Amino acid sequence: QVQLVESGGGLVQPGGSLRLSCAASGSRFSINTMGWYRQAPGKQRELVAVTTRAGSTNYADSVKGRFSISRDNAKNTVSLDMNSLKPEDTAVYYCYIKLLLVDYWGQGTQVTVSS
């Protein structure tokens, strides 16, 4: 049973920083794609950043230059460093992996950017 456990998130003022982390467990196979999506109230879930096992990355235009994704292949963890946060970054952030063509999601962690 594949499980994704997220940590981090919370309330931060505009311009502040947060770090999200996610640990994947229960897989006997190497995980290729790991990353983060987010969903704001009334909006569809959208990609924030993903990274492959080889190290390539893809970011949403709205977070480029502010967010940085990293992973530890040995520990099956992925992190998202979020800087210069804006109120429009407020959303539930979901950890994501693709394993053998199947998508897995974490339970979500709330990020609120507000003064």
Residue 89: its pLDDT value, please? 98
Instruction: Please count the other Cβ atoms lying within 10 Å of the Cβ belonging to residue 58.
Output: 14
Question: Do the Cβ atoms of 13 and 115 come closer than 8 Å?
Answer: yes
Q: What is the pLDDT of residues 15-63, one digit of tens each?
A: 999 999 999 998 888 899 999 999 999 999 999 999 999 999 999 999 9
Dihedral sign, Cα of residue 1, residue 68, residue 58, residue 43? positive
Q: What is the pLDDT of residues 67-112, one digit of tens each?
A: 999 999 999 999 999 999 999 999 999 999 999 889 999 999 999 9
Using alpha carbons, select from 107, 86, 98 the residue that is nearest to residue 53.
98
CA separation for the pair 115, 109 (Å, rounded): 19
Residue recorded with tokens 């977070």: 63
Q: What pLDDT does 28 receive?
A: 86
Backbone φ and ψ of 89, nearest 5°? -80, -5
